[in-house]
């Protein structure tokens, strides 16, 4: 379920920032605003006991294995397993989906980007697990209709 609600904190981001999101388009201040969405989602969902199990993924899906992520700059195994899984899934989804400013990457390129991030952006074990998924499964995910995304 965490995958379904991991970006719920974006409801706290002003449309002027959220709808502008794209490469090279956000100012430093706008990017700082975007970086608040994991905490905002966590704060919203923590009010509901039924959602407590998903909170680590909501809060930590932008943390990076090397400690350069956000919001808490967690590193390595200090990032929850759910956060580490969602980091890979979120990036895969983001780079394979079309955006107003670019087309989605094909599967081979997306897999390559994920692999290149092993040990820096992503937990190497999560990358290994992701790369072990059959291409047909990943391609099927890519072909599912999706709601337009802002980032």
Q: How many CB atoms lie within 10 A of CB 115?
A: 14
Check residue 20 and give its pLDDT. 78
Give pTM, 2 decimals. Answer: 0.88
Instruction: Assess contact for 101 and 25: CB atoms under 8 A.
Output: yes
Which residues are within 8 A (CB) of 79 and not within 5 positions of it... i.e. 6 or more apart? 60, 63, 65, 69, 87, 123
151 residues of the chain, pLDDT tens digit each: 778 899 999 999 998 888 876 666 788 999 999 999 999 999 999 999 999 999 999 999 999 999 999 999 999 999 999 999 999 999 999 999 887 777 889 999 999 999 999 999 999 999 999 999 999 889 888 887 766 555 4
| Alpha carbon separation from 102 to 16, 87, 131, 139 (Å, rounded) | 19, 21, 24, 19
Check residue 148 and give its pLDDT. 56
Check residue 62 and give its pLDDT. 98
């Amino acid at each position: 379920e965490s995958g379904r609600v991991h970006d719920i904190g974006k409801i706290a981001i002003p449309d002027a920032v959220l709808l502008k999101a794209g490469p090279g388009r956000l100012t430093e201040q706008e990017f700082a605003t975007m970086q608040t969405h994991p905490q905002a989602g966590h704060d919203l969902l923590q009010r509901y006991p039924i959602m407590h199990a998903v909170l680590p993924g909501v809060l930590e899906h932008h943390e990076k294995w090397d400690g350069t992520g956000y919001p808490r700059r967690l590193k390595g195994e200090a990032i929850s397993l759910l956060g580490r899984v969602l980091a890979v899934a979120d990036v895969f989804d983001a780079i394979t989906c079309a955006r107003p400013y670019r087309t989605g990457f094909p599967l081979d390129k997306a897999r390559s980007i994920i692999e290149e991030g092993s040990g820096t952006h992503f937990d190497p074990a999560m990358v290994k697990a992701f790369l072990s998924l059959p291409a047909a499964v990943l391609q099927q995910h890519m072909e599912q209709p999706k709601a337009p995304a802002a980032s």
